[in-house]
Structure 1
Amino acid sequence: MDREYRGIIDTHCHLLPGVDDGSESIEESLEMIDMYISQGYCGAILTSHYYEKKYEVCGQIYDKSFDLLQKAIKLRNIDFKLYRGNEIFVDCDVMKLLNNKKINTLANSDYVLLELPFLGRFRGVQELVYDLKRNGYIPIIAHAERYVYAQEDINYLYDLLSYGALIQINLSSLSKDKNSGVHRTVIKLIKSKMVSFVGTDAHTSTWRKPIVSKEFEKLKTLLSEEDFNEIVYINPMKILNNENIEFDIDLVKINNEEEKMKSKKSIFSIFRKR
Structure 2
Amino acid sequence: MLFFKKKEIPLSDFFPKGFVDIHSHLLPGIDDGANDIDDSIELIIKMRSYGIKKLITTPHVLGDVYPNTTETILEKLELVKSELIKRNITDIDVSASAEYMIDEQFSLRLENNDILTLKDNFILVEMSYFNAPYNLYDVLFEIQLKGYKPILAHPERYIFYHNNFENFQKLKRAGCLFQLNLLSLTEQYGKGVQNTAKKLVQQNFYDFVGTDTHHKEHLKRLKSIATPKNIKTLEHLIAKNAYFK
TM-score over 0.5 (shorter chain) = yes
Higher helix share: 1
2: CA distance between counterparts of 1:239 and 1:72? 24
How many residue pairs end up in the alignment?
232
> Is 187-196 or 75-84 further displaced after alignment?
75-84
1: CA distance between counterparts of 2:244 and 2:107? 19
Q: Deviations over 1:67-97 (max 9, x none)?
A: 0100111222321111211101111343431
> Is 178-187 or 147-156 further displaced after alignment?
178-187
SS of alignment partner, residue 141 of structure 1 = strand
Measured after TM superposition, the shift of residue 7 of structure 1 is 3.1
Query: Which AA in structure 1 matches 2:241?
Result: P
Specify every segment of 5 or more residues in structure 1 that has no aligned partner in the other structure, as ranges.
Answer: 241-274
SS of alignment partner, residue 162 of structure 2 = helix
Measured after TM superposition, the shift of residue 59 of structure 1 is 2.9
Partner residue, 2:157: 146
Instruction: Let me know the Cα RMSD of the aligned residues.
Output: 2.3
SS of alignment partner, residue 82 of structure 1 = strand
TM-score w.r.t. length of structure 1: 0.77
Q: Which of 62, 69, 73 is the equivalent residue of 1:58? A: 69
2: CA distance between counterparts of 1:4 and 1:186? 19
Distance 1:143 1:97, change over 3 A: same
Distance 1:93 1:80, change over 3 A: same
The answer (yes or no) to whether the contact 1:58–1:103 under 8 Å persists in 2 is no
Query: Which AA in structure 2 matches 1:27?
Result: D
Equivalent positions of 1:236-247 (< 5 A) are: 236-240=241-245
Distance 1:69 1:210, change over 3 A: farther
Partner residue, 2:238: 232
SS of alignment partner, residue 169 of structure 1 = strand
Distance 1:177 1:84, change over 3 A: closer
The answer (yes or no) to whether the contact 1:12–1:199 under 8 Å persists in 2 is yes
Q: Deviations over 1:117-171 (max 9, x none)?
A: 1122222112211221222111011011111112122221111101111111111
Measured after TM superposition, the shift of residue 103 of structure 1 is 3.6
1: CA distance between counterparts of 2:95 and 2:45? 17
2: CA distance between counterparts of 1:56 and 1:111? 21
Q: Which of 54, 79, 97 is the equivalent residue of 1:43? A: 54
TM-score w.r.t. length of structure 2: 0.86
Sequence identity percentage: 28
Measured after TM superposition, the shift of residue 102 of structure 1 is 3.4
Structure with higher Rg: it is 1
Partner residue, 1:83: 95
> Is 23-32 or 119-128 further displaced after alignment?
119-128
Distance 1:44 1:63, change over 3 A: same
1:213 lines up with 2:230 in the alignment: no
The answer (yes or no) to whether the contact 1:200–1:210 under 8 Å persists in 2 is no
Query: Which AA in structure 2 matches 1:232?
Result: I
SS of alignment partner, residue 18 of structure 1 = coil
The answer (yes or no) to whether the contact 2:110–2:143 under 8 Å persists in 1 is no
Specify every segment of 5 or more residues in structure 2 that has no aligned partner in the other structure, as ranges.
Answer: 1-11
Q: Deviations over 1:42-66 (max 9, x none)?
A: 1111110001111111133222211
2: CA distance between counterparts of 1:155 and 1:7? 34
Partner residue, 1:255: none
1: CA distance between counterparts of 2:131 and 2:198? 22
**Larger RCO (alpha carbons 8 Å, 6+ apart):** 2
SS of alignment partner, residue 109 of structure 2 = helix
Query: Which AA in structure 1 matches 2:244?
Result: I
